[in-house]
Amino acid sequence: MTAPAPTDPVLAEVFSYLEQHGSKFVDDLCQLLRIPSVSADSQFASDVRQAAGWLVEHLQAFEGEGLEVELIETPGHPLVYAESPPVPGAPVALVYGHYDVQPPDPLDEWTSPPFEPTERDGNLYARGATDDKGQMLTHVKSVEAWLATVGKLPLQVKLLIEGEEEVGSENLEAFIANNTVKLACDCVVVSDTAQFAPGIPAITYGLRGIAYYEIHLTGPNSDLHSGVFGGAVTNPANTLHKMLAAITDDEGRIQLPGFYDDVAELTDREREQFRELPFDEQAFQDQLDVKGLTGEAGYSTLERRWARPSFDVNGIWGGYQGEGAKTVLPGRANAKFSFRLVPNQDPKKITASLRAFLEPLVPPGITMELIDYHGAPGIAMSLESPYIEAAADAIETGFGSRPVFMREGGSIPIVNTFAEQLNADVLLLGWGQNDDNLHAPNEKFCLADFHRGIRASAALWRQLARRKAEGGRREN
């Protein structure tokens, strides 16, 4: 679906620039996608820095138009920051995105290599295509189009692009707390989520939070012959599976004491709104090639995915993994696991409850190490903001249909910090699709959505500039 050309002459000029430069924008995206900026793995540290450098250089092309660009060091990966000049009377928009990506494994399941962007059937395949390089770049390109045609933006835009979103955004959190004046804004624009379905764009008003852990169980000082020692020496792998299994019941209800105490329940109105969305459960199963779904009793699939907590083992290892059988009692067993949290649950409280729950389950002969990686609370935002209307209008201009309002099950840890520290409305305007394979092999971004997203972003600056929230932004 393509929207008609805008009647607004200024926007029409910007859109004609987008039309002319569309294939150049895809080339630019491909350049960025070729840089393997995997933040979780220190082997890629110099690539992560290179991606930041690429963005800085790319944005510097518009310094002549008044865009000020900075590479900001943090104790971890650097931040890329740019801002256009203030526009009196217009609101300030802060765009947030991330240039880091998830690890590409398992490599042998990619049809084309993860860091060699390849176009197939109108989609661009590469790690980071949708999450978040492609989506983030839509805003960079719309800023470019305004500056290249009109020469200035109709409002002040601040761009803040980080390299640690996929590892919990801890350094960004400190940066925001120390730079509330620099980052002061009326609304924060984030494109790092998905549309409801093809042809149904969305504004997301809720995200789940997260609490992520790694567990190491150590038994005897070496792997042992399972015939000689099995049955008398406690097996760490047996113990690990029992401990992990104890965390949920058969319906996926989490058994940690107090886990549900703070959970914000869905209202009847919200459940009704979820039911009204055109969700096709059979199509969802078909997309995943699964013959059935399981989850917490009393809740629909969308409710389970968007607004109920969940527990997942993310990786588990130990013992013999090679070909054939090996009779071994492994000396160690390990797992990575995480909870998705919903509004009002506190990740710190969850960690305390988890430790108290797991410690008594450790049998004689085993020691446990539990590592707390990162946590972030969930969020559900009010839809009562003039900027939401502006965003809905801009999406209609870019995508040709009005967005639905939905929640998502994924997490963007820093969104809470923006809402609290900057007192700004956060607009989650996702251009992705549910089958984009983010965090999985064959990640993709639909190129038509890339171009529609750029148009919606270009229209957003126009729409936001027309509105200034009552009471405005907090002056820090």
Residue closest to 463 by CA, chosen among 11, 129, 147: 11
Tokens of 135: 């989506």
Choose from Zn ion, ligand BES, none: what does 236 bind? Cβ within 5-8 Å by kind.
Answer: none
| Residue number with the smallest Cβ distance to ligand BES | 410
Size of the site for Zn ion (CB under 5 A): 1
Contact status: 83 vs Zn ion (CB under 5 A): no
- Binding to Zn ion (CB under 5 A): which residues in 343-382? none
Choose from Zn ion, ligand BES, none: what does 393 bind? Cβ within 5-8 Å by kind.
Answer: none
91 or 97: whose CB is closer to Zn ion? 97
Give the separation between CA 237 and CA 246, rounded to whole angstroms.
14
Choose from Zn ion, ligand BES, none: what does 210 bind? Cβ within 5-8 Å by kind.
Answer: ligand BES
Give the separation between CA 165 and CA 213, rounded to whole angstroms.
17
- Binding to Zn ion (CB under 5 A): which residues in 108-137? 131
Tokens of 329: 């009692």
Instruction: Tell me if 103 sits within 8 A of 48, measured CB to CB.
Output: no
What is the dihedral angle through the alpha carbons of 178, 183, 186, 188, rounded to the nearest 10 degrees? -100
Which long-range contacts link 3-6 to residues 24+ away (Cβ below 8 Å)? Answer: 3/396, 3/397, 3/398, 3/399, 3/400, 3/452, 3/455, 4/400, 6/397, 6/459
Please, what is the minimum distance in Å from the beta carbon of residue 450 to Zn ion? 17
Contact status: 408 vs Zn ion (CB under 5 A): no
338 or 385: whose CB is closer to ligand BES? 338
Please, what is the minimum distance in Å from the beta carbon of residue 210 to ligand BES? 5
Please, what is the minimum distance in Å from the beta carbon of residue 302 to ligand BES? 13
- Interface residues toward ligand BES, by CB under 6 A: 131-132, 165-166, 168, 192-194, 210, 374, 408, 410-413, 438
Residue closest to 319 by CA, chosen among 306, 329, 305, 307: 329
Choose from Zn ion, ligand BES, none: what does 408 bind? Cβ within 5-8 Å by kind.
Answer: ligand BES
Choose from Zn ion, ligand BES, none: what does 410 bind? Cβ within 5-8 Å by kind.
Answer: ligand BES
Please, what is the minimum distance in Å from the beta carbon of residue 249 to Zn ion? 29
> Using only C-alpha atoms, what is the Rg of the chain?
24
What is the dihedral angle through the alpha carbons of 423, 137, 105, 37, rounded to the nearest 10 degrees? -80
Q: Strands 156-162, 92-98: parallel, antiparallel or unpaired by DSSP? A: parallel
Give the separation between CA 94 and CA 426, rounded to whole angstroms.
9
Cα-based distances in Å from 384 to 94, 144, 200, 427, 464: 19, 30, 21, 12, 15
Please, what is the minimum distance in Å from the beta carbon of residue 164 to Zn ion? 12
84 or 437: whose CB is closer to ligand BES? 437
83 or 131: whose CB is closer to ligand BES? 131
DSSP codes joined into one string, 27-56: HHHHHHHTS--BTT-GGGHHHHHHHHHHHH
164 or 186: whose CB is closer to ligand BES? 164
Contact status: 100 vs Zn ion (CB under 5 A): no
Contact status: 436 vs Zn ion (CB under 5 A): no
Please, what is the minimum distance in Å from the beta carbon of residue 440 to ligand BES? 11
Contact status: 162 vs Zn ion (CB under 5 A): no
Give the separation between CA 55 and CA 62, rounded to whole angstroms.
12
Give the separation between CA 311 and CA 338, rounded to whole angstroms.
6
Choose from Zn ion, ligand BES, none: what does 47 bind? Cβ within 5-8 Å by kind.
Answer: none
Please, what is the minimum distance in Å from the beta carbon of residue 302 to Zn ion? 20
Please, what is the minimum distance in Å from the beta carbon of residue 33 to ligand BES? 15
Give the separation between CA 385 and CA 64, rounded to whole angstroms.
34
Choose from ligand BES, Zn ion, none: what does 374 bind? Cβ within 5-8 Å by kind.
Answer: ligand BES
224 or 438: whose CB is closer to ligand BES? 438
Contact status: 443 vs Zn ion (CB under 5 A): no
Sites of contact with Zn ion (CB under 5 A): 131
